[in-house]
């Protein structure tokens, strides 16, 4: 149990690093920095010497080698592989030792299956040339992987320390469930905004292009059947479709903010004050990062931080809800 606890702690930290690196790769337009998978232009790391670079360009003439884009992609892949290795180790320990409780075993096995599927999405992200449906799924799957690893850590820690945690009333559980669903939908909208390169579609705040409701094409913006084949680096949608996506993400943020404020008050009134303060803190951080993205024209560090803010929120809510005994 101690080994699983230690591995899950490091895996949880590594999960945040992997999500940050994935956001960095995507926001730096480096998603196709390596046009093949799992290698990079046929190399284990990246081409370095002039001869290696010439060979790489001859193999992939449609995607000339750019070291500034290859490095983020390779670094992201290696950290993701390390996370996968840790999860394999946890599943092996859970299988080998009989004293590991069944709920810990099941969660470890599920994580193993999930991370294998996540690796498949990583391959499809490259092979389908950043098809938004796959990239969005890959991002959300990464969020879920990290959240589940942290749940595994806290459940293992609680069992070792024989801690009896809070018991939520039915009304609180329902509000938790609604909050998790709303935040998950908002994360999807943020991912869809990013993978369709719609972040720059509204550059002012609180209006968009000086209007409350500018011309927008919601039908095409949320067409989940975009064709497979084109290179989606930079996006394929027209301006009105991207505006629709961006506006929906903004409106979603308002809904989520209002609900989480209400939920924080609910927790506070039921004497879960520490939980309420934590939720308010993470929500405030995420709002500030989102506003900063617009005001400062999507600087890389703030945009990566906004991704991590969403991960913090969904992990916090999910672990609190499912950690309860």
d(CA 278, CA 283): 9
Query: Across residues 71-77, what is the average pLDDT?
Result: 96
Task: Name the strand (E) or helix (H) holding 267.
Answer: helix 239-269
pLDDT at 94 exceeding the cut of 80: yes
For the cut 60, the answer to whether the pLDDT of residue 168 exceeds it is yes
Q: What is the pLDDT of residue 219?
A: 96
Least confident of 16-20, 85-89, 153-157: 153-157
Report the percent of the chain where pLDDT is more than 90: 90
Rounded Cα distance between 188 and 295, Å, is 22
Q: What is the mean pLDDT of residues 318-325?
A: 83
Would you list the DSSP string of 2-38?
A: HHHHHHHHHHHHHHHHHHHHHHHHHHTT-TTSSSSSS
What integer best gives the mean pLDDT of the chain? Answer: 94
Confidence (pLDDT) at 158:
85
Give the DSSP letter of residue 104.
H
Within a 10 A sphere around the Cβ of 211, how many other Cβ atoms? Answer: 12
CA distances from 155 to 95, 123, 158, 233 (A): 17, 32, 5, 40
Residue 163 has pLDDT above 80, yes or no: no
Mean pLDDT over 117-128 rounds to 96
Phi, psi of 258 (to 5 degrees): -60, -40
Q: Find tokens 């998950």 and name the residue.
A: 184
Instruction: Tell me the two tokens of residue 173.
Output: 């559980």
Distances (CA, A) of 78 to 15, 33, 307: 12, 14, 20
Q: What is the mean pLDDT of residues 179-195?
A: 98
Averaged pLDDT, 181-186:
98
Report the interhelical angle of 132-161 vs 67-96 (nearest 10°).
40
Q: How far is it, in rounded angstroms, from Cα 267 to Cα 68?
A: 47
Please compute the mean of the pLDDT values over residues 240-262 and round it to a whole number: 98
Q: Which one of the listed residues 62, 73, 162, 324 is annotated catalytic?
A: 73
> For the chain, how big is the Rg over CA atoms in Å?
21
Is residue 246 over pLDDT 60? Answer: yes
The predicted model gives 240-249 an average pLDDT of 97
Task: Specify the pLDDT at position 133.
Answer: 97
CA distance 250 to 269: 29
CA distances from 228 to 126, 184, 259 (A): 12, 26, 37
Check residue 325 and give its pLDDT.
Answer: 53
Known catalytic residue: 324?
no
Cβ-proximal residues to 296 (8 Å cutoff; 6+ apart), any chain: 302
- Residue 123: what pLDDT? 96
At residue 324, the pLDDT reads 67
d(CA 323, CA 176): 12
Nearest C-alpha neighbor of 245 from the set 208, 295, 293, 277: 208
> What is the mean predicted confidence (pLDDT) over 36-65?
93
| The two structure tokens encoding residue 12 | 């949880």
43 bridge partner residues: 40
pLDDT band for 227, please (50, 70, 90 cuts): very high
Reported pTM: 0.94
How much of the chain, in percent, has pLDDT values that exceed 70?
99
Within 28-131, residue ranges assigned H as helices are 50-59, 67-96, 102-127
pLDDT tier for residue 165 given thresholds of 50, 70 and 90: confident
């Amino acid at each position: 149990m101690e080994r699983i606890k230690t591995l899950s702690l490091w895996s949880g930290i590594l999960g945040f690093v992997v999500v940050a690196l994935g956001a960095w790769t995507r926001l730096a337009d480096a998603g196709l920095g390596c046009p093949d998978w799992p290698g990079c232009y046929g190399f284990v790391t990246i081409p370095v010497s002039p001869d290696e670079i010439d060979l790489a360009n001859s193999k992939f003439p449609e995607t000339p080698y750019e070291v500034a884009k290859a490095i983020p992609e390779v670094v992201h892949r290696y950290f993701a592989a390390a996370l996968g290795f840790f999860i394999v180790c946890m599943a092996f320990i859970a299988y080998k030792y009989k004293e590991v409780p069944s709920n810990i075993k099941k969660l470890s096995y599920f994580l193993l299956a999930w991370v294998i599927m996540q690796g498949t999405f990583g391959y499809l992200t490259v092979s389908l040339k950043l098809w938004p449906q796959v990239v969005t799924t890959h991002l959300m799957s990464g969020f879920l992987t990290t959240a589940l690893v942290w749940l595994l850590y806290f459940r293992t820690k609680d069992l070792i320390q024989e801690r009896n945690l809070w018991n939520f009333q039915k009304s609180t559980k329902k509000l938790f469930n609604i909050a998790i669903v709303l935040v998950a939908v908002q994360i999807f909208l943020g991912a869809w905004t990013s993978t369709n390169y719609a972040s720059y579609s509204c550059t002012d705040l609180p209006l968009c292009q000086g209007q409350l409701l500018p011309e927008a094409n919601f039908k095409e913006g949320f067409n989940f059947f975009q064709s497979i084949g084109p290179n989606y680096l930079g996006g394929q949608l027209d301006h009105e479709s991207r505006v629709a996506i961006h506006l929906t993400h903004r409106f979603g943020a308002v809904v989520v903010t209002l609900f989480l404020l209400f939920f924080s008050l609910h927790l506070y009134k039921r004497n879960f004050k520490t939980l309420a303060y934590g939720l308010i803190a993470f929500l405030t951080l995420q709002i500030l990062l989102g506003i900063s993205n617009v005001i400062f024209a999507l600087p890389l560090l703030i945009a990566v931080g906004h991704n991590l803010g969403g991960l913090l929120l969904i992990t916090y809510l999910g672990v609190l809800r499912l950690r309860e005994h």
